[in-house]
């Protein structure tokens, strides 16, 4: 890593630590390791849900006593830490099981080879005095050796079964984690997934100055689909939009349902130009779609969407980036909807601060 990046990273950590400690002192938060982790994460803007929760509590002047601090830590860190610990322990267990199975197999091979060698040499002692007694002893040894081999095979099978159960546990944990970050209706990332990916891109930018683009979009006049045709048709519209966005963005970015009829796309390494190309592609595809009743053939009309684009700048917090993308989106609605506007269009414009009704 270059000295520039090292210095930048150190400066960020130092300033974030100072900010966290200042806030803790101001709000009389006991500086335990758990509380420090909470306020450091908030100061670093690494978890938007955590930050919003703390800001809401601060706005209500709720004191941060031991009970509240413990509850906050458990809500935001304990479950994730538990899953992480189980995954790490499972990985270590898998490696150890693999080593033990390998040793058992080697022992089994050696035991089998010894058994074959003893059996082959029984006939060579037939002419010696007392050979019958020796043969009997060797046969007993062979029987005991065979029992050891069978026990080794049983132990190997049991270990392999245990290893399989651990793998299933890991898969179940991974699936549970994926489900908790997937929107049930549209089958794309949910708000939690978006927040995590946004923080990951923010960290990459802070550490390596890797730019990225944010697109926020929503469905024009979505309320009419629900009011005129019912929520089932509204849900169908959301599914169609999500399907198009996922097809166009998967592999090059991170699509998510931002909330309600709003969607978001994060495009790593892209600027406003790259974001505009993606947004225009999605807009055109969606504007060509119509919603129909498969049973009756009834046409519920076309779908259109408006898009707002913003790119990360300087050392701004994530909220500033989101706010600019939102302003560009509202400008697109103000200018007639079914269009793409970027933060560059905000220059010289009198941007409105109240959302245009959908």
Summarize the confidence of residues 317-341 as an average pLDDT.
Answer: 95
Instruction: State the pLDDT at residue 144.
Output: 63
Please tell me the total count of domains within the chain: 3
Specify the residue for token string 């080593």: 99
Q: What is the CATH number of the domain that holds 336?
A: 3.30.70.270
Given a cut of 60, whether residue 121 has pLDDT beyond it is no
Answer yes or no: do 58 and 168 share one domain: no
Q: Are 285 and 305 in contact (CB under 8 A)?
A: no
Q: What φ, ψ does residue 329 adopt, rounded to 5°?
A: -65, -45
Predicted confidence band of residue 119 (pLDDT cuts 50, 70, 90): low
**DSSP 8-state assignment for residue 270:** -
**DSSP 8-state assignment for residue 75:** I
* CB within 8 Å of 167: residues ≥ 6 apart: 94
- 34 found inside a domain: yes
Q: Which residues partner with 182 through β-bridges?
A: 189
**DSSP 8-state assignment for residue 212:** E
Instruction: State the pLDDT at residue 255.
Output: 96
Domain-ending residue, one of 23, 38, 64: 64
Answer yes or no: do 151 and 245 share one domain: no
* CB within 8 Å of 357: residues ≥ 6 apart: none
Of 170, 179, 175, 168, residue with least CA distance to 88: 170
Six-digit token pair at 111? 């035991």
Q: Which residues partner with 216 through β-bridges?
A: 264, 308
Summarize the confidence of residues 195-206 as an average pLDDT.
Answer: 91
- Which range, 98-107, 291-300, 333-342, has the best average confidence (pLDDT)? 333-342
Q: Which range has the worst mean pLDDT, 198-202, 209-213, 265-269, 293-297?
A: 293-297
- 325 found inside a domain: yes
- 355 found inside a domain: no
What separation in angstroms does the CA of 41 have from each of 81, 162, 286, 315? 15, 38, 38, 16
Instruction: State the pLDDT at residue 84.
Output: 60
- 264 found inside a domain: yes
Answer yes or no: do 328 and 262 share one domain: yes
Q: Which range has the worst mean pLDDT, 79-93, 137-151, 312-326?
A: 79-93
- 236 found inside a domain: yes
Given a cut of 70, whether residue 138 has pLDDT beyond it is no
What's the rounded Cα separation, in Å, for the pair 82 and 198?
Answer: 23
Instruction: State the pLDDT at residue 302.
Output: 87
Instruction: State the pLDDT at residue 4.
Output: 34
Q: Are 284 and 340 in contact (CB under 8 A)?
A: no
Instruction: Give residue-wise pLDDT tens across range 224-273.
Output: 888 888 888 888 899 999 999 999 998 899 999 998 899 999 999 999 99
Domain-ending residue, one of 180, 198, 218: 180
Higher-pLDDT residue of 190, 18: 190
Answer yes or no: do 239 and 271 share one domain: yes
What's the rounded Cα separation, in Å, for the pair 355 and 358?
Answer: 8
* CB within 8 Å of 178: residues ≥ 6 apart: none
Q: What φ, ψ does residue 38 adopt, rounded to 5°?
A: -60, -50
- 194 found inside a domain: no
- 232 found inside a domain: yes
Q: How far apart are the first and last CA of the chain?
A: 47
Q: What is the mean pLDDT of the chain?
A: 78
Of 97, 88, 89, residue with least CA distance to 158: 97
Answer yes or no: do 264 and 336 share one domain: yes
Answer yes or no: do 220 and 174 share one domain: no
Answer yes or no: do 127 and 152 share one domain: yes
Higher-pLDDT residue of 60, 128: 60
Q: What percent of the chain has pLDDT over 70?
A: 63
What's the rounded Cα separation, in Å, for the pair 286 and 249?
Answer: 14
Answer yes or no: do 222 and 284 share one domain: yes
Given a cut of 80, whether residue 162 has pLDDT beyond it is no
Instruction: Give residue-wise pLDDT tens across range 4-57.
Output: 333 445 566 777 888 888 898 899 888 887 888 888 888 877 677 788 889 889
What's the rounded Cα separation, in Å, for the pair 125 and 130?
Answer: 9
The count of C-alpha atoms lying within 13 angstroms of the C-alpha of 253, restricted to the half-sphere facing its C-beta, is 26
Angle at 340 between CA 342 and CA 299, to 5 degrees: 160
- Which range, 91-100, 110-119, 219-228, has the best average confidence (pLDDT)? 219-228
Domain that holds residue 89: 81-180
């Amino acid at each position: 890593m270059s000295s520039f990046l090292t210095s930048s990273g150190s400066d960020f950590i130092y300033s974030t630590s100072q900010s966290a400690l200042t806030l803790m002192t101001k709000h009389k938060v006991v500086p335990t390791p758990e509380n420090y982790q909470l306020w450091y994460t908030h100061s670093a803007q690494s978890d938007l849900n955590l930050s919003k929760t703390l800001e809401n509590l601060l706005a209500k002047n709720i004191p941060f006593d031991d009970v509240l601090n413990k509850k906050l830590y458990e809500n935001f860190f304990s479950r994730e830490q538990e899953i992480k610990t189980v995954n790490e322990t499972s990985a270590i267990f898998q490696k150890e099981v693999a080593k033990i199975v390998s040793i058992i197999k080697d022992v089994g091979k050696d035991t089998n080879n010894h058994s074959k060698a003893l059996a082959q040499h029984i006939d060579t002692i037939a002419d010696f005095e007392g050979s019958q007694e020796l043969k009997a002893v060797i046969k007993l040894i062979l029987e005991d050796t065979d029992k050891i081999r069978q026990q080794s095979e049983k132990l190997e099978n049991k270990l392999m079964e245990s290893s399989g159960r651990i793998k299933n546990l890991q898969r179940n944990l991974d699936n549970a984690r994926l489900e908790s970050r997937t929107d049930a209706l549209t089958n794309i990332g949910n708000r939690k997934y978006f927040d995590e990916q946004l923080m990951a891109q923010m960290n990459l930018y802070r550490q390596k100055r890797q730019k990225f683009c944010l697109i926020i979009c929503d469905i024009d006049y979505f309320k009419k689909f629900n009011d005129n045709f019912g929520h089932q048709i509204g849900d169908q519209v959301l599914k169609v939009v999500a399907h198009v966005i996922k097809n166009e963005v998967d592999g090059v970015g991170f699509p998510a349902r931002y909330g309600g009829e709003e969607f978001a796309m994060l495009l790593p390494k892209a600027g406003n130009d790259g974001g505009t190309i993606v947004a225009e592609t999605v807009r055109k595809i969606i504007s060509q779609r119509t919603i129909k009743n498969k049973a009756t053939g009834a046409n519920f009309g076309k779908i259109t969407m408006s898009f707002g684009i913003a790119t990360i700048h300087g050392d701004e917090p994530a909220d500033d980036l989101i706010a600019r993308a939102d302003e560009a989106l509202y400008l697109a609605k103000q200018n007639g909807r079914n269009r793409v506007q970027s933060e560059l269009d905000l220059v010289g414009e009198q941007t409105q601060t109240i959302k245009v009704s959908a």
